[in-house]
Structure 1
Amino acid sequence: MVNKVYITGHRNPDSDSICAAIAYSEFKNKTQRINAIPIRLGEISRETQFILDYFGVQPPQLVQTVKPQIIDLKIDTVAPIASDISLKMAWSIMKQKNIKTLPVIYPNEKLAGIVSVSNLAASYLDIWDNYVLAKSKTSLSNILETLSAKIVYLSDENLELKGKVVVSMMEPNDRNLIEAEDICICGDRELVQEFVLDCNARLMIITNNTNPSEKIIDLAKEKGCTIITTPYDSFTAARLIPQSIPIEYVMTKNNLITFSTSDFIEEIKDIMLETRYRSYPVLDEDGSVVGSISRYHLITQQRKKVILVDHNEKTQSVDGLEDADILEIIDHHRIGDIQTGQPIYFRNEPVGSTSTIVANIFFENGIRPSKKVAGLLCGAIISDTLLLKSPTATIVDEIILKRLAEIASIDIEKFAQEMFKAGTSLEGKSSKELLYQDFKIFNMGNFKVGVGQITTTYMDGFTPLINDLKTVMNEKASQGKFDLIILMVTDIFKSSSLFIVCGEHKEVFSRAFNIKLNNGTAYIDQVVSRKKQVIPPLTEVINQIK
């Protein structure tokens, strides 16, 4: 079985985060025997959606957590049994599969109940009611199967059994022994067979494969009594016939404890310890049975495998990361606080985009990215380096971008203009969406700092939104216990940014940039990079305070 490896960017993903995950998944799938799956931790921005649509690529799957779930386990996948099969058939399946419990389903494939060895044993040992076939609505087909019988005469296609089970081997002295609608087991004595029919029995079971005479068959037709023959003797037939009742009559169907494939392992552990059943049915999102789980599966669980791109700080990563195995980190930011239990491949380079590093990995290994992936990498590099105008841009970004553009067959300048135009539109976006579309959390000493960034080509259109944004930012600072929240609105073509600053420690921003805030805002020329021009001076000032 090929292992799944999830490749993820950071929360509130930008174009680099999404495109690098998709591209690196292609590389891993081409070079290793794994199933690399790109995932995302948030909604796709308009800019990223433009890039994906331009090159005809679907967005990665949205994943909220990498905590282990039932779907990650190799659960028992024994096929469920139908609710109308016989006890004998259920026991045969259990012996063949060497299992102790089976899920039971209705014709619509929804769970009906659970049958266990103890259910079968109890039903067989505790059945003292000779009306059990009638009460359980046992079908003729179940009786035929259980007794390996064949039909001699069938009185009714929809035969319904209402009477008790009677064994009649000798000529009876008491005619009250057999009543109308009864199910009678008898031998080869024609006198007894005739007596059974005269009593208006509903079903006559003749043992030892004895074929009745034409006289008996004609009388059965007259009386409306079905006749079947079995190879078993009367004693064996009498022992076996209770095993023909349908499994739904003895199964456990009340207070069932079931789990879903999406349930988290940490949530089901306590339930399993408290109830201590042998196994539990597992249902999919449609309510259909997909298997069963026992405590053994929890012991053998495997952690999800994860590769991080475009980030290496826990606060920016997927929920449940501590319960997963980090295999690799590919990033171009400062080294953060993520710890691993074993050595990993960690590639961190001071370039303008993680996608530059990913593209380099392709080329270093002599592999050419597909045309679509080359296009995605182009879009990500253009976005993260602001078309190579950001101070984070390097000569490596420029060389890689040109090489990728040739593979993708795009004009860099023309594509960049279309991409920025699509990505910087503010139409229809709320203040909360604007703040969160590219928002990162940083732990700096004892300070919790949030920095969001928006790129635009028309700064004047943004001015009316400032007051609403301050309200949203102050709420975020209060609820999230942030010491400082900053939103930088970057003008792509003027290479400058408007800063909106909220939180109890706005003075940190003022000291970091040696600037006085005007009603919580400041305009700074030639500052466009959060990573290289904003985070370092903030960190330095906070360390001085510490």
Structure 2
Amino acid sequence: MNDVIYITGHKNPDTDSICSAIAYAEFKNKTSNKKAIPVRLGEVTRETQFALDYFNVEPPKLIETVKTQVSDLDIDNAIPISPEISLKMTWNMMKKHNVKTLPVIDENDKLLGLVSVSNLTSSYMDVWDNYILSKSNTKLENILETLCAKPIYLNDENPKFNGKIMVAAMEPCHIKEVVEKGDIVICGNREDAQKSIINCRASLIIISGNHIVKDTIIKLAQKNQCSIIVTPYDTFTASRLIIQSIPINYVMTKDKIISFSTEDFVDEIKDIMLDTRYRSYPILDKNRKIIGTISRYHLISKNKKKVILVDHNEKTQSVDGLNDADILEIIDHHRIADIQTGLPIYFRNEPVGSTSTIIATIFFENGIRPSKKIAGLLCSAIISDTLLLKSPTSTGVDKLMLNRLAEIANIDIDAFAKELFKAGTSLEGKTPHEIFNQDFKIFNINNFKIGVSQIGTMYIESFIPVKDSMMDLMNKKCKNENFDLLILMVTDIFNAGSELLVIGNHKEIVEKAFNVNLTDSFIYLPDVMSRKKQIIPPLTSAINSIK
């Protein structure tokens, strides 16, 4: 995740915002060894979806924030262990991998518990009940592995041991007084002692010192269903080590395990880690499978998400959590606003009609030809943002790039634009909320909070049926979200003009900016088609003139 660059446009993304992010991601992936991923901050409009479908391109992934998550950190690889392995093997794995904690998982990689050095040391220091092998359901394979033993005779492939552990350190005649059926007995090479143990119906006899077992003893063991194994260790060492054969699930921590998800935010887990102060914490994916572990030292040098902003440079329009990310670049064609960076970055801002025009220029400046699909998306964005070059924001560069890209995309500009606008301007089936928010931006101008939404239409009369409900929505939004002014631009694409619906306590700003008188909160402005160039600058001048 640390080598990923997220390229994002603004909230409530329009066609330029989406297409420029996708196109610039293709450019970065062709020119950089870091993976660039286009993302979006809102739903795709009908116009944008038409363009994506037309050129068979998937919409970018929807994200809500770029705050640092656990998945962004260089977490330690998980070294999961099975719950059946022995304490000894667990300790050997800890030493091999130089770790203090290991996660214990089931057959589906789901977390069962954690085992730490403290679990092992406390179990080793405790005075164990001599029925511990029975209580912990220890398997023979664990005993063989722990004692480096070899089987001489096994009564069963998977024998169960229900008796106690003991060492036969007494005269053979006294063995029958202490050994009971099912016991596990460690002894030496005395044949008479071995016979007494077997005749007591012990379930397992462990012969120390790698001594040879006579055939008579093996036959007696077969008759009495007593398994025999031989260990190279002496009796003392074998009796000390056998406790380490119990399965790790008997001593692991099972309850109140604190784990984190890859989706958790670092700021949220930091306090939990400081309060609990365990050595490490398991990290689980969406399926609750363990993928790694995290410790407090990971938070010291946390990796921030790397972000490139396109088609905006205003904080209120950008992704949440931007202060917690590293902004690498900004590509935009709007006014310079309020986003700050800690280090110098590549900032490209040009007075053209579309951010996609700038990105197309970047392709050609670097001798790179955009793919047919990307060329088509860039055409869509330029057509949309310049209203087919009719907007006052459009320039000769927009026209040049549009023609050059259309040749690569193999489209007829006028025919394609008509289909694009038809798909995007239809209000049929849309709620007032969807209409208002499909291209809505917030501007902070001298302590005035102003929101401006713009919709384009081929028939301005199609807006009439939703006028009243739109006014209700805007009045509620203005009051609930403390806007000084809310404006909806309904732009007639072919007749080149916009009708403004104005809501708020400072309508006089609009009247002053455009030298008009509002009638029932409405005003028609001929030849006004650009929010960026024809709405925001006059509003800014009007606000700045207020004393």
Q: TM-score range by the shorter chain?
A: over 0.9
Q: Which residue of 2 aligns with 1:525?
A: 526
Which amino acid in 2 is paired with 1:110?
Answer: K
Which amino acid in 2 is paired with 1:38?
Answer: P
Q: Which residue of 2 aligns with 1:185?
A: 186
Pairwise CA distance, 1:2:
7.2
Q: Which residue of 1 aligns with 2:269?
A: 268
Range 378-387 or range 194-203, more displaced: 194-203
Pairwise CA distance, 1:99:
1.0
Within 5 Å, which residues of 2 pair with 1:115-514?
115-170=115-170, 171-514=172-515
Pairwise CA distance, 1:293:
0.8
Which amino acid in 2 is paired with 1:102?
Answer: L
Runs of 4+ residues over 6 Å off in structure 1: none
Report the RMSD for the aligned CA atoms in angstroms: 1.5
Q: Distance in 1 between matches of 2:410 and 2:465?
A: 40
Q: Which residue of 1 aligns with 2:80?
A: 80
Is the CA contact (8 Å cut-off) linking 1:2 and 1:34 kept in structure 2?
no
Q: Distance in 1 between matches of 2:173 and 2:233?
A: 22
State yes or no: 1:110 paired with 2:89: no
* CA deviation map 1:320-346 (0-9, x unaligned): 111111111110001101111121111
Query: Does the residue aligned with 1:19 lie in a helix, a strand or coil?
Result: helix
Q: Distance in 2 between matches of 1:258 and 1:2?
A: 22
Which amino acid in 2 is paired with 1:151?
Answer: P
Q: How many residues align?
A: 546
Query: Does the residue aligned with 1:173 lie in a helix, a strand or coil?
Result: helix
Q: Distance in 1 between matches of 2:316 and 2:420?
A: 29
Query: Does the residue aligned with 1:414 lie in a helix, a strand or coil?
Result: helix
Q: Distance in 2 between matches of 1:206 and 1:371?
A: 78
Q: Which residue of 2 aligns with 1:49?
A: 49
Which amino acid in 2 is paired with 1:236?
Answer: T
Q: Distance in 2 between matches of 1:471 and 1:302?
A: 45
Is the CA contact (8 Å cut-off) linking 1:2 and 1:33 kept in structure 2?
no
Is the CA contact (8 Å cut-off) linking 2:2 and 2:73 kept in structure 1?
no
Pairwise CA distance, 1:172:
4.7
Q: Distance in 2 between matches of 1:435 and 1:168?
A: 88
Query: Does the residue aligned with 2:51 lie in a helix, a strand or coil?
Result: helix
Query: Does the residue aligned with 2:399 lie in a helix, a strand or coil?
Result: helix
Range 24-33 or range 381-390, more displaced: 24-33
Q: Distance in 2 between matches of 1:285 and 1:301?
A: 21
Pairwise CA distance, 1:517:
2.2
Q: Distance in 2 between matches of 1:354 and 1:334?
A: 12
Is the CA contact (8 Å cut-off) linking 2:333 and 2:349 kept in structure 1?
yes
Range 168-177 or range 464-473, more displaced: 168-177
Q: Distance in 2 between matches of 1:436 and 1:131?
A: 71
Q: Distance in 2 between matches of 1:2 and 1:11?
A: 24
* CA deviation map 1:433-453 (0-9, x unaligned): 111111100001010001111
Q: Distance in 2 between matches of 1:338 and 1:2?
A: 23
Q: Which residue of 2 aligns with 1:93?
A: 93
Query: Does the residue aligned with 1:347 lie in a helix, a strand or coil?
Result: strand
Query: Does the residue aligned with 1:237 lie in a helix, a strand or coil?
Result: helix
Q: Which residue of 1 aligns with 2:61?
A: 61
Which amino acid in 2 is paired with 1:360?
Answer: T
Q: Distance in 2 between matches of 1:532 and 1:180?
A: 95
Q: Distance in 2 between matches of 1:190 and 1:81?
A: 40
Which amino acid in 2 is paired with 1:54?
Answer: Y
Which amino acid in 2 is paired with 1:494?
Answer: N
Q: Distance in 2 between matches of 1:200 and 1:520?
A: 100
Which amino acid in 1 is paired with 2:88?
Answer: K
What are the ranges of 5 or more consecutive residues in structure 2 without an aligned counterpart? Answer: none
Q: Which residue of 2 aligns with 1:10?
A: 10
Q: Distance in 2 between matches of 1:427 and 1:210?
A: 92
Identity of aligned residues (%): 63
Is the CA contact (8 Å cut-off) linking 1:152 and 1:229 kept in structure 2?
yes
Which amino acid in 1 is paired with 2:13?
Answer: P
Range 469-478 or range 82-91, more displaced: 469-478
Query: Does the residue aligned with 1:155 lie in a helix, a strand or coil?
Result: coil
Q: Distance in 2 between matches of 1:127 and 1:18?
A: 67
Is the CA contact (8 Å cut-off) linking 1:439 and 1:452 kept in structure 2?
yes
Within 5 Å, which residues of 2 pair with 1:14-29?
14-29=14-29
Is the CA contact (8 Å cut-off) linking 2:69 and 2:264 kept in structure 1?
yes
Query: Does the residue aligned with 1:104 lie in a helix, a strand or coil?
Result: strand
Range 169-178 or range 302-311, more displaced: 169-178
Range 130-139 or range 440-449, more displaced: 130-139
Range 390-399 or range 493-502, more displaced: 493-502
Q: Distance in 1 between matches of 2:458 and 2:219?
A: 97
Q: Distance in 2 between matches of 1:47 and 1:480?
A: 28
Which amino acid in 2 is paired with 1:406?
Answer: E
TM-score scaled by structure 1?
0.97
Is the CA contact (8 Å cut-off) linking 1:87 and 1:245 kept in structure 2?
yes
What are the ranges of 5 or more consecutive residues in structure 1 without an aligned counterpart? Answer: none
Pairwise CA distance, 1:265:
1.1
Is the CA contact (8 Å cut-off) linking 2:450 and 2:485 kept in structure 1?
yes
Query: Does the residue aligned with 1:462 lie in a helix, a strand or coil?
Result: helix
Is the CA contact (8 Å cut-off) linking 1:169 and 1:192 kept in structure 2?
no
Q: Distance in 2 between matches of 1:56 and 1:231?
A: 70
Q: Distance in 2 between matches of 1:344 and 1:409?
A: 35
Q: Distance in 2 between matches of 1:2 and 1:265?
A: 14
Query: Does the residue aligned with 2:174 lie in a helix, a strand or coil?
Result: coil
Is the CA contact (8 Å cut-off) linking 1:184 and 1:203 kept in structure 2?
yes
Q: Distance in 2 between matches of 1:492 and 1:52?
A: 21
Q: Distance in 1 between matches of 2:106 and 2:510?
A: 65
Is the CA contact (8 Å cut-off) linking 1:2 and 1:35 kept in structure 2?
no
Q: Distance in 2 between matches of 1:503 and 1:70?
A: 43
Which amino acid in 1 is paired with 2:52?
Answer: L
Query: Does the residue aligned with 1:367 lie in a helix, a strand or coil?
Result: coil
Q: Distance in 1 between matches of 2:71 and 2:259?
A: 14
Q: Distance in 2 between matches of 1:381 and 1:201?
A: 87
State yes or no: 1:33 paired with 2:25: no
Pairwise CA distance, 1:174:
4.8
Q: Distance in 1 between matches of 2:158 and 2:521?
A: 83
Q: Distance in 1 between matches of 2:2 and 2:181?
A: 64
* CA deviation map 1:1-60 (0-9, x unaligned): 972211111111111011111111111121122211111111111111111111111111
Range 453-462 or range 300-309, more displaced: 453-462
Q: Distance in 1 between matches of 2:224 and 2:471?
A: 91
Q: Distance in 1 between matches of 2:501 and 2:225?
A: 92
Q: Distance in 2 between matches of 1:172 and 1:314?
A: 90
Range 483-492 or range 392-401, more displaced: 483-492
Q: Distance in 2 between matches of 1:221 and 1:479?
A: 86
Which amino acid in 1 is paired with 2:213?
Answer: P
